[in-house]
Structure 1
């Protein structure tokens, strides 16, 4: 989904990135070609562990006249929203009773619910894949 990103740069500085649709979210990129990657990373971190609705993208025209966005320029950057959707969904899975018991025991030691433990374990396993 294309979101507006405000880019500002002074001499001898990185490209500063501000996201008007994500209040308080910002980033920087040393090189212009790094902007899309830094945008994606910043937005993923912004939503990490949060239960916020993903806003619809605004347009740069909506921000004209806003003092925070003067002296730079706008880019529309494609953000992979599938990586930042924070809405939890219920799933139904089957596993052996002994495995469920082991999961519950470890989750309890970590002060986690079964769901939180499984989500954390899946995140760890998938982080090696990407």
Structure 2
């Protein structure tokens, strides 16, 4: 999805403060002591709101043209401004098999960073793709393989260990 541009209203608040709000996102408001601080907070608040909608699989509203914005009674309008957002890509569930010890390390680090496991994987993958663009790297010590290459050149998954039977042997 391409960048969306949403109008915002910058208004004067009490005692020299400022406020900003988005007609297309009720409850998405920001305030500050300067116009610049208020606009920066409004941009961050809109990004958070868009992320929350994406997590709930809710569509983004169509931007309201500035000429159709209805100001509430008592609004001390200073200016309209536009904020662009890049809606996040939809997520897709994938199954990944990793050693349990690595998953434990990932979960601990994600918790330290205040992230979910999925967010951590996304961050790590994005970081790796940014660090090594267009390069093929393989860190043999960092990855435990789950299949073996045989002389025929084909891949064969490792066989699971044979189950032990208790007591009687079957004939």
Do Structure 1 and Structure 2 share a fold, with TM-score over 0.5? yes
TM-score range, shorter chain: 0.5 to 0.7
Shift of 1:106: 7.2
Aligned residue in 1 for 2:6: 3
Deviations 1:85-111 (A, max 9, x none): 355232768x6x43478438976xxxx
Structure 1 residues without counterparts, runs of 5 or longer: 108-115
Aligned residue in 2 for 1:119: 119
Aligned residue in 2 for 1:13: 16
Determine the C-alpha separation between the residues in 2 that align with 1:58 and 1:69: 21
Residue 56 (structure 1) aligned with residue 58 (structure 2): no
Larger relative contact order (Cα-Cα within 8 Å, sequence gap ≥ 6): 1
Instruction: Say which of 57, 79, 82 aligns to 1:77.
Output: 82
Shift of 1:12: 2.2
Structure 2 residues without counterparts, runs of 5 or longer: 108-115, 127-171
Larger radius of gyration: 2
Q: 1:22 to 1:120 in 2, by over 3 A?
A: farther
Aligned residue in 2 for 1:90: 92
Determine the C-alpha separation between the residues in 2 that align with 1:69 and 1:53: 31
CA contact (8 A) 1:60 1:74 kept: no
Per residue, is there more helix in 1 or in 2? Answer: 1
Q: 1:125 to 1:87 in 2, by over 3 A?
A: closer
CA contact (8 A) 1:63 1:69 kept: no
TM-score of the superposed pair, with normalisation by structure 1: 0.60
- Determine helix, strand or coil for the equivalent of 2:119: helix
Shift of 1:74: 3.5
- Determine helix, strand or coil for the equivalent of 1:67: coil
CA contact (8 A) 2:17 2:32 kept: yes
